[in-house]
Amino acid sequence: MSAYQNLEERFRRIRDLENALGILDWDHQTMMPAAAGPGRAEAMATLEVLKHEQLSDPRVADWLDAAEEPAAIAGLDAWQQANLREMRRRHTHDTAVPADLIAADTRAVSASELTWRGARRDDDFAALLPALKEVLRLRREIAAAKAARLGLAPYDALLDGYEPGGRAARIDDLFDDLAAFLPDFTRAVLDRQARGPDVLAINGPFPVDTQRGLGLTLMEKAGFDFSRGRLDVSAHPFCGGADDDVRLTTRYDEDDFTSCTMAVLHETGHALYEQGRPRDWLAQPVGDARGMALHESQSLIVEMQAGRSPQFMAFLAPLMRETFSGSGPAWEPDNLRRLYTRVERGLIRVDADEVTYPGHIILRYRLERAMLAGDLALEDLPGAWNDGMEELVGVRPPNDRLGCLQDVHWPAGAWGYFPTYTVGAMTAAQLFEAACREVPELIPGLGRGDFGPLVGWLRRQVHARGSLLSTDELLTAVTGRPLDATVFKDHLRTRYLERD
């Protein structure tokens, strides 16, 4: 076989290991008995080391060098050339970190995640601190190793793993602009909201089984393929699993079904991206989703841009009323729209509206950079978190459960991930604007609960491209320009200040 063919075969094996790890991780977060944690951590560490060994085999480096020779590249088509580029990228990232560090990190993350669950439940940051310190110590080592290989600053090296080409300097510009825009804008929205009709409460209880049934209906409406995936429950909603086995989760509150409903739509957006990736390239790096900012844009297009639009609310209100046997003005579309677009200075990121949400992300981004650099000690995180929430969102957490313990990301080792959420929101606004411009039937379709026109456009323009293009190349090809924050700000103005 040619060098390139050898690489394709090797990455097929690596994908098999990644699929196994994906299902084990899903089980770890959803169904695994607590006492099984240590054994699961060892099993996952072994698989991570095996994956690393597949990539760090000296032959892989030789094959990459040979495949990148001009004569060899000339024999590859555009998809194969992009695949080779992504193979080199994966090899550079993964082989920068030694196998023993990968194994130690996997064990530490598994233990830390389990500890976080109890610490969050008990509002006990001190209980998490030792495990989180170990995760951060290992993340610093990983960041240093990748930084040396990639020629980047440590934080950029971690960010690049989640968002190819992502750099803190660009994030700083985007977030500083938002941080300057949001305070006055938020006050204007709250003032306008105060002058409008009150939001009428929708009172429960709402049985979990009924909420689950509604979630499954909405997943079907959005186009989720249940023959290649499923819906479950976890402490923190997520989308994971494996190729052709996409697992998404939510959490339920019998007193409030509204958060669960949107969480399901959000994770369905992620799942649709995974199910729509190019089938001929599923086992290869070029078939992967481009990055987490683009991934987050797909969830937010479904949840925020489409799912909270007036047209979809007009469809959703009678469906919810029928599902929960509701009656009265609280169940009318106008009230439901006000409910789902209500702006509040809240404590919890996953429940935040799209106006205050960026403040939550800017806080986490600034804190994780400071912790990684050693400028903020972990012991001081709760106080720094509370001060930052007061500055950026306008509320102060009364305890750590509602403060720095609310997210699993840092205990799970996801340092450098948080900024992709708000970059994803900006990307979603830009893509949705282009989709509405190009597909006249999109908005009327949402009024019938039909996501087909929107998802069909996303399949063609985003999902089916995999990692063929960089994020900016894809955005330019699809929308006519790279990421432009003004589109997101215009969307906020239109929805929250100019709507009826």
Angle at 359 between CA 421 and CA 268, to 5 degrees: 30
Residue 273: φ, ψ to 5°: -60, -45
% pLDDT > 70, the chain? 100
Select from 305, 272, 426, 306 the least CA-distant residue to 361: 426
pLDDT > 70? residue 500 = no
Per-residue pLDDT at 30 exceeds 70 = yes
Answer CATH for 169-496 from 1.10.620.20, 1.10.10.10, 3.10.20.30, 1.10.1370.30: 1.10.1370.30
Residue 395 pLDDT: 97
Which pTM does this prediction carry? 0.93
Q: Is the pLDDT of residue 188 over 70?
A: yes
Q: Which amino acid is at 418?
A: F
**Predicted pLDDT at 350:** 86
Kind of pairing between the strands at 239-242 and 245-250: antiparallel
Least Cα distance to 346 among 387, 400, 380, 392 occurs for 392
Reported confidence tier of residue 94, pLDDT bands at 50, 70, 90: very high
Contact 224, 271 (CB under 8 A): yes
Report the C-alpha gap between 253 and 211 in whole angstroms. Answer: 9
Nearest in space to 345 (alpha carbons), one of 326, 327, 328, 363:
363
pLDDT at 219: 97
Q: What is the pLDDT at residue 259?
A: 86
- Mean pLDDT within 405-411: 95
- SS3 annotation, the chain: CCHHHHHHHHHHHHHHHHHHHHHHHHHHHHCCCHHHHHHHHHHHHHHHHHHHHHHHCHHHHHHHHHHCCHHHHHCCCHHHHHHHHHHHHHHHHHHCCCHHHHHHHHHHHHHHHHHHHHHHHHCCHHHHHHHHHHHHHHHHHHHHHHHHHHCCCHHHHHHHHHCCCCCHHHHHHHHHHHHHHHHHHHHHHHHHHHHCCCCCCCCCCCCHHHHHHHHHHHHHHHCCCHHHEEEEECCCCCEEEECCEEEEEECCCCCCCHHHHHHHHHHHHHHHHHHHCCHHHCCCHHHCCCCHHHHHHHHHHHHHHHCCCHHHHHHHHHHHHHHCCCCCHHHCHHHHHHHHCCCCCCCCHHHCCCCCHHHHHHHHHHHHHHHHHCCCCHHHHHHHHHHHHHHHCCCCCCCCCCCCCCCCCCCCCCCCCCHHHHHHHHHHHHHHHHHHHHCCCHHHHHHCCCCHHHHHHHHHHCHHHCCCCCHHHHHHHHHCCCCCHHHHHHHHHHHHCCCC
What average pLDDT does range 137-162 have in this prediction? 97
pLDDT at residue 1 in the model: 84
Cα 39 from Cα 26, distance rounded (Å): 15
The chain-wide mean pLDDT, for the chain, equals 96
Residue 190 scores a pLDDT above 70: yes
Question: Does pLDDT of 499 surpass 80?
Answer: no
Round to whole Å and give the CA distance between 308 and 330: 17
Measured CA to CA, the distance from residue 13 to residue 19 in angstroms comes to 10
Residue type for position 151: G
**Model pLDDT for residues 336-393, shown as the tens digit of each residue:** 999 999 999 999 998 899 999 999 999 999 999 999 999 999 999 999 999 999 999 9
What integer pLDDT is reported at residue 351 of this predicted model?
A: 86
pLDDT score at 275: 98
Q: What average pLDDT does the segment 26-50 reach?
A: 93
User: pLDDT confidence of 204, banded at 50, 70, 90?
Assistant: confident
5-27 pLDDT, tens digit each: 999 999 999 999 999 999 999 99
How much of the chain exceeds pLDDT 90, in percent? Answer: 96
* β-sheet bridge partners, residue 85: none
Q: Check pLDDT > 70 for residue 163.
A: yes
Active site residues: 267
